Amino acid sequence: MRHEQRMVIADAVLSIVIIIVVLQLWLFTATMERYLAGDRAIIIPAALASICCFGLVFGLLFFYRRKRVR
Amino acid sequence: MKLNLVDEQAEWREQFPVNWTDDEYRSRRDFTRLLGLTSFAFVVGHLWIIGRNLTRRAKEKPPPLAIARADDVPVGGFKLFHYPTQNDPCVLVRLAQNDWVAFEQKCTHLSCPVIPQPQQGRFFCPCHEGVFDIATGEPISGPPRRPLVRVTVTAHTGQVYATGVEQGEV
């Protein structure tokens, strides 16, 4: 794969990862806000969503690493 | 002179060659990895909240405490007390003959003591003019976004007892 093509993939992966991490930041602050307000029901679904986000990030990084090795 | 500078720079470049494209490429990859670690940190944060919630649940419920005689507080009146420890100021309000509510006296904005104003149906925080509903503790106006922490109370044989702290923390 040409270097320019790899850079395009890197840009795409980076953009998606940034979006996911910003989403996680919002999720964490919103969860903390609700938890401090006494709403305990939200913390488990929020944690699961955060784990899914991390899984996506990890998957993207793994995918990118494999592409780079090839 | 200008030519010499260029020549010197060329010599320097020969001795320490840097492939800027590769260098930027590597930095971007490292930044993406850092974002991956940040993502993991958020997961740890969520797990910390769950752990904290579980440990709070495991704590023993505070014992009931007699906080006032029913005759001492008229309808529309209030009384200050401390529960569950002496460091937790609370306020008991008698809304109707058999309708009692109690809340921690700390504003959920910056922990200023709130002032009960039963005639206006509200708690008022003078620090930043926060207003809470006197019956529910929900914020009505001002900077507070979270409700006051409710203390559960029961009236029994002329005595009012605080029986627990219902929700939330500041």
3-state secondary structure of B84: coil
| pLDDT, average across residues A26-50 | 90
In order along its 170 residues, chain B shows pLDDT tens digits of 555 656 667 777 777 777 777 766 667 778 888 899 999 999 999 999 999 888 877 666 788 999 999 999 999 999 999 998 888 999 999 999 889 999 999 998 888 999 999 999 999 999 999 999 999 999 999 999 889 999 999 998 889 999 988 755 43
Closest Cα in chain B to A35: B168
Quote the distance between the C-alpha of residue A57 and its chain's center.
Answer: 4
Please name the amino acid found at residue A51: I
B158 in the Ramachandran plot: left (φ > 0), alpha (ψ -120 to 50) or beta?
A: left
| pLDDT, average across residues A43-50 | 95
Predicted complex ipTM = 0.89
Cα distance between residue B115 and residue B117, in whole Å: 6
CB contact under 8 A, A43 and B35: no
pTM over 0.80: no
Helices (H), chain B: 2-15, 20-58
Q: Residue A39 — pLDDT band, cuts 50, 70, 90?
A: confident
Q: Which residues of chain A lie closer than 8 angstroms to B166, CB-CB?
A: 38
CB contact under 8 A, A32 and B49: yes
Closest Cα in chain B to A15: B32
3-state secondary structure of B132: strand
